[in-house]
Structure 1
């Protein structure tokens, strides 16, 4: 017993015990606010509900309905398409901005530019969505401007209350999240590598493709994941600017939980979306790693 107590005292003074003590609050926080709700969702997906009564008998009926119902499949595919389009547009537009700030802005002014990029976060997300409704509306700013310039003869109807409006709004909302990780990755690039590439006869374009872009890929990958994963679960933007043809799977999950009193089916749809997004993210990371190996 004395030996065990001595070992316990030595362990308490060890670096491992001190590290465990430091991370234990974070670990407890993650278990209570992340793992426990996720476990609850998983459990609900195997139950059934009759209005307010939860039947805890194990069943796979929710998964059968979630994966065979044409409406759910259409919403899931539309959500993947919209999130993919938002990610592509956001990253493609964010890279030149991050590149300009990193390579062409004086070091003493970079902090100011990053500060300006984060200004949209000062306003409420809902306010920004409503502003896009004003801009893209039938009599909105965009249509009024194009009519005034004589570019169009009648207001455009394909820019609001459809998937296009959702892509535009989400791309604007998530642009800073894509710019910042790409900027950080570009800042870490050793400029002497670019000079060496040009000294060896490479042009500006080939230097970018063979040196800058591969070295910036960690930031690009981070930007893709940061934008793609949350946008597929967005239900506020599709509800406000998407219209019937712009609704996503998160809107159906919200309907199942809040209006139809079918939490098990809503949990199944949420879990299915999470698994699909996780699989796509893992596939993307694997393909990116293969791409970098080929480039090397």
Structure 2
């Protein structure tokens, strides 16, 4: 009896099976464990595996969790907008105004922040934004301010600034790749047909670069909403996010099921927002086509 798969299909399945099992073991299994934990309850060291919605009811009833979720969403949205808006001109300049032989050097310079630890970069921003930090000392030295600025550290502003800097390369690279794939003859044709440089950019370059922009938005938005290191180091009490509460539930309050429930709620929120953005982007592109 002949097999239902050709030799080429069997070879393809053999190549895919190992990465698929690897992804299932390292991604799906931990997520499934977190979801399962969220329906349990715990009292100090006693873990009750009876299925319950207690954690979700508590998360819905306690306003602190809603505030942290809203704050996390707001910070992630602001960071994403700032990062993508500032990354696009850099990627556009490298793609359209840098000689082909020098583009690799510019991309190399963009990746320089990756050379150092993420923690070191966060601590450097703490030094820069501190009460007696580099920024305040410089502004005081040139006479711009009379007293050190206090609103740039240990609040939401510091978290946004630090995260926007940390994730800038992640936004620049996909946008640059998308811009590089644009056929330059299309822009020349648009100009020949009477389009201005601005209208050609809006009607040709921007829509064709949208896949890179979408990738940059998702790459920045999804991890920033779960960041807990930056808010802890530079955010202060008013800059903490939902990930900090999840860490507290797991490591300090010894309430893993509650932490798991908050993690599941955060994952659902991220999925909903990311899916809505992708659908709106598709509708936007269809409307312009």
Normalized against structure 2, the TM-score is what? 0.98
> How many Å apart are 1:142 and its aligned residue?
0.4
Query: What CA distance in whole angstroms lies between the structure 1 residues aligned with 2:38 and 2:113?
Result: 37
Query: What CA distance in whole angstroms lies between the structure 2 residues aligned with 1:161 and 1:60?
Result: 35
- Pair 1:233 & 2:226 matched: yes
Q: Number of residues paired by the alignment?
A: 289
Match of 2:75 in 1: 82
Match of 1:176 in 2: 169
**3-state SS of 1:165 partner:** helix
**3-state SS of 1:271 partner:** helix
Match of 1:186 in 2: 179
**Superposed counterparts of 1:74-113, under 5 Å:** 74-113=67-106
**Superposed counterparts of 1:234-273, under 5 Å:** 234-273=227-266
Normalized against structure 1, the TM-score is what? 0.96
Match of 1:276 in 2: 269
Bigger Cα Rg: 1
> How many Å apart are 1:251 and its aligned residue?
0.1
Query: What CA distance in whole angstroms lies between the structure 1 residues aligned with 2:19 and 2:61?
Result: 40
**3-state SS of 1:54 partner:** strand
Aligned match for 2:10, one of 17, 20, 24: 17
**3-state SS of 1:49 partner:** strand
Query: What CA distance in whole angstroms lies between the structure 1 residues aligned with 2:60 and 2:213?
Result: 32
Structure 2, unaligned runs of 5 or more: none
Match of 2:281 in 1: 288
**Superposed counterparts of 1:43-54, under 5 Å:** 43-54=36-47
Query: What CA distance in whole angstroms lies between the structure 2 residues aligned with 1:243 and 1:294?
Result: 44
> How many Å apart are 1:68 and its aligned residue?
2.2
Q: Deviations over 1:83-116 (max 9, x none)?
A: 0010000000000000000000000000000001
| Displaced runs of 4 or more, over 3 A | none
Aligned match for 1:137, one of 130, 135, 143: 130
**3-state SS of 1:292 partner:** helix
Q: Deviations over 1:185-244 (max 9, x none)?
A: 000111111111111221111111111111100000000000000000000000000000
Structure 1, unaligned runs of 5 or more: none
Q: Deviations over 1:111-155 (max 9, x none)?
A: 000001001000000000000000000000000111111111111
